[in-house]
Amino acid sequence: MIEVSPVPSFLAAKTGPRAWLLTRDHKRIGLMFLFATVAFLFLGGAFAMLLRTELVRPERDLFDATMYNRLFTMHGVVMVFLFMIPSIPAGFGNFVLPIMIGARDVAFPRLNLASFYIYLIGAFVTLGSLVGGGVDTGWTFYTPYSSTSPTAVAPTAIGIFIIGISSIITGINFITTVHTMRAKGMRWHDMPLFVWSIYATSIIQVLATPVLGLTLVLVGLDHVLGIGLFDPRVGGDPVLYQHLFWFYSHPAVYIMILPAMGVISEIVCTFAHRNPASYRAIAYSSLGIAFVGFLTWGHHLFVSGMSETDAAIFGVLSMFVAVFSAIKVFTWTGTLYRASIRLGTPLGYLFAFLFLFVFGGMTGVAVATQSLDVPWHDTYFVVAHFHFIMVGGTTTAFLAAWHYWFPKMFGRMYDERVGLLTAALVFGGFFMTFFPQFLLGNAGMPRRYYSYPDQYQALHVLSTGGSWALGLAMLLAFGQLVVAWRKGPRAPANPWHSRSFEWSTSSPPPEHNFVGPFVVRRGAYDYDLTQEEADARSTDR
């Protein structure tokens, strides 16, 4: 194990604002993405807390209908486009992917920096439209309402279009990096599983995002010029909008969850100190989800006018995603089964992930069935479903990743007791927020209303209480990381005794990731080897 590196770490190599703002180092760009996404996580969370607070009492308290609509739209837009989509791929993907494959940087470092600034410009335009009146259409911008809404639809659409460009650039960069920059001796099946999941994500980013871009351009043009391509008054078809929108936005949920699955695969193997039960099952099911994810968008349109045959086909295709996901879940639990597991904060978040993901996934199979979806459509049941699987999955994996790679990024450790306690509080708060929403939806409470009949109040109060606990847990989690960053004890190079390649270099890594050329003669999870042998087979000197 490399304990002390004679080369300065990337954090110490250059300092000052210029060294950060004009950097081409994937690690610094990754960190800037991470700081930005955490800021947007808190902003989107603040919108959600306001919404939940309004819902404590059945009648109107804080906001009128329009303001409420603006708030849930901004909550969705910020969380989807500014937090979840870039969080793990552009943040942790940027930081660890090149190190994991033994590269000195991504293939196109300048484009990588550009993608960060394009993302910031997009965020600026999107949030700027808040000042210019906000948007009240929901993050889905459904036509024909989005054509006639008096709010700032066009600037928001342009902002999201710009963020999409950043997402495409990140995807192109990672695909090229994985193909061309692997260290000497590293074959595809030697790569850490996180790399496979980011690779699958990148394919979706490159192929699905342009369709959303085009669709948002059409919505923006419609709002400004009234081109009416989706307006039934002039012969257009609003359902076509839904098809185009979900052709991106359904695969987009796999942009959010596939990287999370990659994080979980890493943590499972490290904390079980064991080879994955099946490397290929996890790697190929990522590609499987990326592929079949393109063919499931129709399940959002079950009540929008769709033949029963189409609905059945889309339903069955959607269930294939559950099959691939189940392959992963069983492989993870198979890896953990009877292993000598090390307890740690990332593992705590991993268990939260597994529960939320499996629970949310099973309700997903239910809503993929047309006969069940019709009564649940546009109720809190669907809200609870996608928050469990998408938000619960992504956020717990995001927090797991923060705690797992924190020593790698900053070379410091945090307090494990606080970490585990926070993980439990995140899980508890999350469950208490969203589990009542399944019951609310099943009892008929529609989504996107600021007032409701009295009989729903108890469950709403429970949900709001949970959201406060969740908000508190988030503050605790990141507060403790800030403290650890300043005052935490020094971390060894490989505190988890992981075999994955990002731990083969010092923590934090030197500016060019490795001291000399990195050479590999083993897979990413050779836990059968002794530590000395494993280190000898993956070395940079």
* Interaction site with other proteins (CB under 8 A): 103-109, 168, 171-173, 175-177, 179-181, 184, 206-211, 213-215, 218, 221, 225-229, 234-237, 240, 243-244, 247, 512, 517
DSSP 379: B
Measured from the CB atom, the residue of 227 and 287 that comes closer to other proteins is: 227
Q: Long-range pairs for 7-12 at CB < 8 Å and ≥24 separation? A: 7/506, 7/510, 7/511, 7/515, 8/510, 8/511, 9/411, 9/506, 9/508, 9/509, 9/510, 9/511, 10/508, 10/509, 10/510, 10/511, 11/410, 11/411, 11/508
CB of 150 to other proteins, least distance (A): 19
CB of 155 to other proteins, least distance (A): 20
CB of 107 to other proteins, least distance (A): 4
Q: Per the structure block, which two tokens stand in for 200? A: 């699958």
CA distance 537 to 529: 10
Distance of CA 170 to the CA centre of its chain: 14
Measure the N-to-C terminal CA separation of the chain; round to a whole number of Å.
12
CB of 305 to other proteins, least distance (A): 13
Measured from the CB atom, the residue of 180 and 451 that comes closer to other proteins is: 180
Measured from the CB atom, the residue of 184 and 189 that comes closer to other proteins is: 184
CB of 188 to other proteins, least distance (A): 15
Measured from the CB atom, the residue of 68 and 199 that comes closer to other proteins is: 199
CB of 263 to other proteins, least distance (A): 24
CB of 135 to other proteins, least distance (A): 22
Measured from the CB atom, the residue of 205 and 396 that comes closer to other proteins is: 205
Residue with the two structure tokens 């000898």: 536
Measured from the CB atom, the residue of 80 and 175 that comes closer to other proteins is: 175
According to DSSP, the residues that pair with 521 across neighbouring strands are: none
CB of 82 to other proteins, least distance (A): 21
Query: Is residue 375 reached through a cis peptide bond, with omega within 30 degrees of 0 on the bond before it?
Result: no
CB of 106 to other proteins, least distance (A): 8
CA distance 368 to 361: 10
Measured from the CB atom, the residue of 210 and 444 that comes closer to other proteins is: 210
Distance of CA 93 to the CA centre of its chain: 11
In angstroms, what CA-CA distances link 146 with 177, 252, 480, 496? Answer: 39, 21, 42, 50
Which helix or strand (DSSP H or E) is residue 398 part of? helix 393-410
Measured from the CB atom, the residue of 217 and 425 that comes closer to other proteins is: 217
Between helix 457-487 and helix 416-442 the angle, nearest 10°, is 160
Please provide the size of the chain in residues.
541
Measured from the CB atom, the residue of 144 and 228 that comes closer to other proteins is: 228
CB of 425 to other proteins, least distance (A): 41
CA pseudo-torsion sign 96, 98, 99, 101: positive
DSSP for 277-328, written as a single string = S-HHHHHHHHHHHHHHGGG-GGGGGTTSS--HHHHHHHHHHHHHHHHHHHHH
Measured from the CB atom, the residue of 103 and 469 that comes closer to other proteins is: 103
Measured from the CB atom, the residue of 169 and 491 that comes closer to other proteins is: 169
Measured from the CB atom, the residue of 150 and 235 that comes closer to other proteins is: 235
How many other CB atoms sit within 10 Å of the CB of residue 132? 12
CB of 505 to other proteins, least distance (A): 15
Measured from the CB atom, the residue of 65 and 224 that comes closer to other proteins is: 224
CB of 306 to other proteins, least distance (A): 14
Which helix or strand (DSSP H or E) is residue 520 part of? strand 519-520
Measured from the CB atom, the residue of 240 and 281 that comes closer to other proteins is: 240
DSSP for 38-102, written as a single string = HHHHHHHHHHHHHHHHHTTSSS--S--HHHHHHHHHHHHHIIIIIIIHHIIIIIIIHHHHHHHTT
In angstroms, what CA-CA distances link 100 with 94, 214, 265, 288, 486? Answer: 11, 35, 14, 22, 26
CB of 207 to other proteins, least distance (A): 5
CA distance 203 to 495: 33
CA distance 290 to 292: 6
CB of 516 to other proteins, least distance (A): 12
Identity (one letter) of the amino acid at 280? R
